């Protein structure tokens, strides 16, 4: 949990820096690119995280690799991250930075599960409805799972809205079982 808190603090500092330089988008793309490079390349990760390699060598390599590709203030930020020996947190800092930008832009990422692929019109209608429901601009991440049979399952943060046909059928089956069990205990009247 401590790493998460430290990464959040660095992300907040980067967010303030990006806002002062009107570069939320450029800084966001830049830190995401660096985090992706570190995650995808084990040799780069090892180079940055190995304490045996001098910090100046790491900083020189970053300056050379990132110069002109990301805002100079972002490069300076990353150099400070190396000076403070927090380079293993670059991915978490990027994630936290993206969350701060989403919060600032009033966006909510939503996991949406559907039984079959959505067409453009249905996708747009779903996005609009989710945005109204959440009171934020919804950014749906759609996943197709035929096992839900129909309907939609939405996860927004810690809240799950399950409107799947599979769930409705399961609930109906439980109700029928309960009704047949309670109805089966009565003796027929003889009269």
pLDDT tens-digit series, residues 128-158: 999 999 999 999 999 999 999 888 999 998 9
Q: 82 falls in which pLDDT band (50, 70, 90)?
A: very high
pLDDT tens-digit series, residues 13-53: 999 999 998 789 999 999 999 999 999 999 999 999 999 99
Pairing, β 107-114 against β 137-144: parallel
| pTM, entire model | 0.77
Report, as an integer, the average pLDDT of 161-173. Answer: 86
Short-list 36, 95, 34, CA closest to 65: 34
pLDDT at residue 186 in the model: 55
Q: 163 falls in which pLDDT band (50, 70, 90)?
A: confident
pLDDT at residue 41 in the model: 94
pLDDT at residue 106 in the model: 97
Tell me: pLDDT of 189 over 70.
no
Tell me: pLDDT of 58 over 80.
yes
**Looking at the domain covering 2-103, what would its CATH class be?**
mainly alpha
- Beta-strand ranges (E) seen in 105-186 are 107-114, 137-144, 151-156, 159-164
Distance CA 82, CA 56 (A): 9
Locate CATH 1.10.520.20 in the chain. 2-103
Tokens of 109: 């990422």
139 within 8 A of 108, measured Cβ to Cβ: yes
Q: 173 falls in which pLDDT band (50, 70, 90)?
A: confident
Residue with tokens 């990760």: 45
Short-list 48, 18, 44, CA closest to 31: 18
Long-range residue pairs from 140-144, CB within 8 A, at least 24 positions apart, any chain: 140/110, 140/111, 140/112, 141/109, 141/110, 141/111, 141/112, 142/112, 142/113, 142/114, 142/117, 142/118, 143/111, 143/112, 143/113, 143/114, 144/113, 144/114, 144/115, 144/116, 144/117
């Amino acid at each position: 949990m401590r790493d998460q808190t430290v990464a959040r603090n660095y992300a907040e500092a980067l967010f303030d820096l990006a806002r002062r330089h009107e570069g939320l988008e450029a800084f966001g793309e830049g830190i995401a690119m660096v985090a992706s490079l570190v995650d995808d390349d084990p040799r780069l990760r090892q180079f940055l995280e190995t304490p045996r390699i001098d910090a100046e060598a790491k900083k020189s390599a970053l300056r050379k690799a990132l110069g002109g590709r990301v805002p100079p203030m972002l490069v300076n930020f990353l150099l400070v991250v190396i000076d403070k020996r927090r380079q293993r947190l670059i991915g978490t800092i990027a994630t936290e930075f993206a969350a701060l930008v989403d919060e600032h832009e009033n966006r909510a990422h939503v996991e949406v599960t559907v039984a079959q692929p959505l067409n453009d019109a249905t996708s747009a209608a779903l996005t609009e409805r989710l945005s109204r429901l959440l009171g934020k601009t919804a950014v749906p991440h759609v996943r197709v799972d035929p096992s839900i049979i129909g309907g939609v399952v939405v996860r927004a943060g810690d809240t799950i809205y399950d409107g799947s046909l599979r769930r409705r059928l399961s609930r109906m089956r439980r109700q029928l079982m309960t009704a047949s069990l309670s109805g089966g205990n009565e003796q027929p009247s003889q009269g």
